[in-house]
Structure 1
Amino acid sequence: MRKIRAKIPYRLDRLPWSRWHILVVIALGITWVLDGLEVTIVGVISSVLTRPQTLNLTEFQASFLGTAYILGAVIGAIVFSYLTDKYGRKKLFMVMLGIYVAGTVLSALSWNFLSIALFRTITGLGIGGEYSAINSAIDELIPARVRGWVDLAINGSWWIGTMVGSALSLYLLNPHEFPIDLGWRLSFAVGAILGVSIMLIRRYVPESPRWLLVHGKVEEAEEVVKQIEMKVQNSKELSEPKKSISITPIGNVGFRLVFKTVFGRYKKRAILGLWLMAGQAFLYNAIFFTYSLILSKFYNVPSDEIGLYIFPFAIGNFTGPLILGRLFDSLGRRKMISLTYIISGSLLAFTGYLFYLGILNAFTQTFAWVIIFFFASAGASSAYLTVSEVFPLEIRAMAIAVFYAIGTGLSSYAPSFFGYLLGSKQPSDLFIGYLIGALLMIFPGILTIFLGVDAERKSLEEVAKPLSEIIESDEKADSK
């Protein structure tokens, strides 16, 4: 195909922040809110589901629901990322949201362990598919100078869903308000309502001009950018960017080329991305999916009061990326990623030791987790930011999916593993689990010092060359 020269990426990057960008953030960032809501609901109701009046699950089965959801998300990310890069970001938005809503509604109708495990897997399929499409679109639409902060803030909005879920649990799981076998079912309705509502907003989000460009749809890409510019410029005249990019559309890309590019040409970035994703995924999956069980088993916190402890925990996680996010664009990715990972891992090890000594109570345990995850949340968000901006545009969605799937898949056993440790009811066993989580955060932090990518305030095309340019360069090298 013919080579295309365009200024579209740089025209998007030089746009002033506007209400249109806020609309994009709300319409697409809701995915993280929904995911946070789903994880919180399952985390809070896990102890309720072990009761004879509900599904009468064992502690291991209740913990496994988190694993089922994660496995569904991994499969969804892989399958739908290919379709996202092939058919576009926008077309997959509604499909993924529809699958999520269906899975959530079905979860509310579960009648035994097998049914709820299956429905949680379906829900995960929708959310996993959303991750690759949403993160790709956000990075491709947000100006480079604020991409780090916006990405972290959006990823941190996961905890808005957590706050909503924990607040609702105080009401819906209160036996004085609803029968015990009804409240947990109603909890799932909130996610379905939010999912349906956001479909109306997403109609106004355009297809990514960058995706259109690399697929040879230049006129359509130009038209979308013009419409965006008209919405954001107001009375100020936008300057014409001096830079341009040269791209040869190469059509659809398969996972074979993705793996060859990511783990061949970008081997160091791949190693870093895997460790960042796996470390934060293990930490969150291990701690959060068993949060209510730890509070109820070790600190005797009633099920209908667990939301009171989750709410401050969620605030710490939300404010971390929000407050620290701007430093990822000013001080830089390398410094901030390493700091947030190393600090959170070190604090987790220290808190685990205090738990082992038995000197914590429900309040001090929660306070410690708030401090730990203030830093861990910013670090975890930066893992998604890293894998979404350091690989070529043509394979962005599939690259995100590969790292999400491998990293999350490797840590999907964490809820079940911690559920097993909880079964012994021995603080010493859980302390071992905390130490493993701490090491899996500290090591990627150290690794970032040496392998980190200084992507702050740079266009995506400057961070990673277009795949077509890489292929042309390799062909020329082979011909010599």
Structure 2
Amino acid sequence: MATEPRILTDVPARLDRLPWSRFHRLVVIALGITWILDGLEVTLAGSVAAALQTSPRLQLTPEQVGLTGSAYLAGAVLGALFFGHLTDRLGRKKLFNITLGVYLVATAATAFSWDFYSFLLFRFLTGAGIGGEYSAINSAIQELIPARLRGRIDLAINGSFWVGAAGGAILSVWLLDPNVLGPELGWRLAFATGAVLGLVILYLRRFLPESPRWLMLHGQPGEASRVVDRIEAEIEASEGVTLTPVKANLVLGNTHRTTLVSVARTLLRDYPGRTAFGLILMAAQAFIYNAIFFTYALVLTRFYGVAADDVGWYILPFAAGNFLGPLLLGPLFDSIGRKTMIFGTYTLSGILLGITALLFDLGMLDATTQTVMWSIVFFFASAAASAAYLTVGESFPLEIRALTIALFYAFGTLLGGVGGPWLFGVLIASESPREIVLGYALGAVLMIVAGLTTRKLGISAERRPLEEVAPPLSAHRGGPSEA
């Protein structure tokens, strides 16, 4: 009987002992831009809805505007699944360039849409590019960032969605001002903005290497080591440090061939607790985020009398709270720990959401105080949501990481993008504050339940190498553990 080859590698240990450097800053800028682009796209799409209905060329009906939003979400889901599978098979670098290219071309084409059907198609393709980015980028970032910093960096990058949202809000106020560009040119330039930003980032990504961890697990341990050699040489030169040698501590066997069967077996048989935990986290955060954010303008205009063209100004403090939460709380996920912080952020945001619902029901809020309360709630909820993406990324073996991220992302997007906004739209249409309160109460309960679940199913992944949290499927180690 032929013996299985055994390869001893030090690649993970070498990557995790690297000091923070210019290389890591390039990783954050060149890859983390994805969330900014998504925030920009989502906010602009909502802000230009009225302009699309009055556009001489498009003249979309409200139903058609809603369909284009659904097309974007459908594209994101299918793009995540399709490109996520390819990312695990073909590599991180190849796919994060392809997905950005798809986004760039599609959003540029959106600016030249000539009718409803062309607009619908281009929005679908834009969503596909963004969805593909989520799986390719999350994989690459987690595999390149040292273990001791993985939590704070991942949370900060996920929170940068709201930098894009704020930018979209400001751009919409200017671009849609009839005294500046006019509604027809304004909405077209709004979508072209993303393409210009994408071109800059596509250039920066040329300087990033393939993930050494992916190379290591796909029959190229020598190339993986050479890539790390180049990273180390660059860091020693730029940071003026001398890196100490590390001991190889991971033994690999034959390359694992990923199939849908092996993915299902890993998620449902090997890691059922982690799978359930990830689904609960993603479902809770997706529901309250999409439900409240996509109906934010409706609440302000219908219940507080805010003018439609002033809504963007109310989004800015909301976006600030959402960005500052992951940025400021992120370091605690590495120091205090994942379980404690996920429990705290989910539970606290649920309690605060319940208090906000009560104040809304009692008529004690106006547009300004409602915005302040939302900003406080989502300071914690944003960190919780970012932690959900961090958790599903680091909880499963590297060979299926991108596809796993895509599966959980698709689940969250389908639930939050369809169920949440639809339910809140129905509740708001009733024009009864009490009905809205019931929706908020449901969101609060979901967040609290997710927080409590952490006490039982949470994982202590802080400062631990990815290969220790979830051993590769090709590793010569003991069986997988839920711990």
- State the partner residue of 2:267: 262
Instruction: Name the amino acid aligned to 2:428.
Output: L
Q: Is the contact made by 2:104 and 2:199 (CA closer than 8 Å) also made in structure 1?
A: yes
- State the partner residue of 2:450: 444
Do structure 1's residue 374 and structure 2's residue 388 form an aligned pair? no
- State the partner residue of 1:136: 139
CA distance in 1, matches of 2:435, 2:112: 35
Which among 308, 328, 344 is matched to residue 303 of structure 1?
308
Instruction: Name the amino acid aligned to 1:163.
Output: A
- State the partner residue of 2:279: 274
TM-score normalised by L of structure 2: 0.93
Do structure 1's residue 46 and structure 2's residue 58 form an aligned pair? no
- State the partner residue of 1:466: 472
Instruction: Name the amino acid aligned to 1:36.
Output: G
Q: Is the contact made by 2:77 and 2:410 (CA closer than 8 Å) also made in structure 1?
A: yes
SS of residue paired to 1:297:
helix
CA distance in 2, matches of 1:139, 1:357: 45
- State the partner residue of 1:203: 206
- State the partner residue of 1:418: 424
Shift of the alpha carbon at 1:473? 5.2
CA distance in 2, matches of 1:61, 1:415: 16
Which among 14, 21, 38 is matched to residue 24 of structure 2?
21
Which among 56, 81, 91 is matched to residue 84 of structure 2?
81
CA distance in 2, matches of 1:359, 1:57: 37
Instruction: Name the amino acid aligned to 2:442.
Output: I
- State the partner residue of 1:477: none
Do structure 1's residue 156 and structure 2's residue 177 form an aligned pair? no
The size of the alignment, in residue pairs, is: 474
Map of 1:327-366 to 2, 5 A cutoff? 327-366=332-371
Shift of the alpha carbon at 1:195? 0.9
Q: Is the contact made by 2:142 and 2:393 (CA closer than 8 Å) also made in structure 1?
A: yes
CA distance in 2, matches of 1:115, 1:212: 40
CA distance in 1, matches of 2:349, 2:336: 19
SS of residue paired to 1:411:
helix
CA distance in 1, matches of 2:296, 2:70: 14
TM-score normalised by L of structure 1: 0.94
**Structure 1 residues 134 and 213 mapped into 2: Cα distance closer, same or farther (>3 Å)?**
same
CA distance in 1, matches of 2:257, 2:154: 27
Extract unaligned runs of 5+ from structure 2: none
Do structure 1's residue 407 and structure 2's residue 407 form an aligned pair? no
**Structure 1 residues 115 and 278 mapped into 2: Cα distance closer, same or farther (>3 Å)?**
farther
Percent sequence identity over matched residues? 54
CA distance in 1, matches of 2:294, 2:149: 32
- State the partner residue of 1:453: 459
Which among 38, 52, 72 is matched to residue 75 of structure 2?
72
**Structure 1 residues 60 and 423 mapped into 2: Cα distance closer, same or farther (>3 Å)?**
farther
Q: Deviations over 1:262-311 (max 9, x none)?
A: 12110000000011111111111112222223222222322332221111
User: Which sits farther off after the overlay, 52-61 or 447-456?
Assistant: 52-61
**Structure 1 residues 112 and 302 mapped into 2: Cα distance closer, same or farther (>3 Å)?**
farther
Q: Deviations over 1:98-142 (max 9, x none)?
A: 211222123333455554343322111001111111000001000
**Structure 1 residues 66 and 287 mapped into 2: Cα distance closer, same or farther (>3 Å)?**
farther
Instruction: Name the amino acid aligned to 1:155.
Output: N
SS of residue paired to 2:474:
helix
Extract unaligned runs of 5+ from structure 1: 475-480
CA RMSD of aligned residues (A): 2.0
- State the partner residue of 1:118: 121
- State the partner residue of 1:185: 188
Instruction: Name the amino acid aligned to 1:434.
Output: Y
